[in-house]
Amino acid sequence: MARRARGPVAEGTYHITFRSAGPVALFVDDVDRMDFLRRLAITIPRFDWKCRAFCLMTTHYHLLLEVNADCLQPGMHRLNGQYAQEFNRRHGRKGHLRGDRYSATPVLTLSHLLAAFRYVVRNPVRAGLCERPGEWLWSSFRGTAGLDGAFALVDDEPIRSYFGGDSQEALQRLRDFCEVS
């Protein structure tokens, strides 16, 4: 039986999670990660999204996206479909790369946005891949926290502004918020 189509998606901010099928890696290496980020960077302006944060794991990824009404589903279809085709071609495989549909949880308040941001960037810590979010290179955290140059595809101003902007004190507050368990 075919699954039902998703209903309309309202304008707003969403915590997106997308998982691969079973134990299949979604990102085998840095070439895959860079390819995905390149495709995400193309998708963002095409569908008028604002990416507030991201984190790429081995079998899944997280995005914090602000979207206009009914722009999420076509953008996700394009992003995931094109990435999966290239992944299969590059790795000589066939079949589905994705598991279930992506999850899109509405983020309704500023406190929810901050909690979702913290959850996203702490994902590699919870998975035991690093001890602190700043150690994981495949997340927007380093740029948002002022540890590296930011990924151009990320518009983290709403998150940074909550902590006081770009001053060293504000960035330290942001790092403390995310690094303390």
For 47-98, how does the pLDDT look when each residue is reduced to its tens digit (9 = 90+)?
999 999 999 999 999 999 999 998 999 999 999 999 989 998 999 888 777 7
Q: How many CA atoms lie within 13 A of 181 on its CB side?
A: 6
Q: What sections of 47-151 are H helices per DSSP?
A: 72-91, 110-126, 141-144
Q: Spell out the domains of the chain, with CATH numbers in brackets.
A: 12-179 (3.30.70.1290)
Identify the CA nearest to 66 among candidates 91, 92, 48: 48
160-166, long-range: CB within 8 Å, 24+ apart, which pairs?
Answer: 162/110, 162/114
- The three-point CA angle 167-133-114 to 5° equals 65
CB burial string 104-139: b at 16+ within 10 A, e below: beebeeeeebbebbbbbbbbbbeeeeeebbbebebb
Q: Is the pLDDT of residue 132 over 60?
A: yes
- The pTM (predicted TM-score) of the whole model is 0.92
Asked whether the beta carbons of 47 and 71 are under 8 A apart, the reply is yes
C-alpha span between 38 and 25 (Å, rounded): 18
Q: Is the pLDDT of residue 153 over 50?
A: yes
What is the per-residue pLDDT across 22-50, written as a single tens digit (0 to 9) for each? 778 999 999 999 999 999 999 999 999 99
* Rounded mean pLDDT, 98-120: 92
Asked whether the beta carbons of 159 and 117 are under 8 A apart, the reply is yes
> Residue 27 is encoded by which pair of tokens?
């990102």
Q: What's the count of helices (H) and strands (E) in the chain, helices before strands?
A: 6, 4
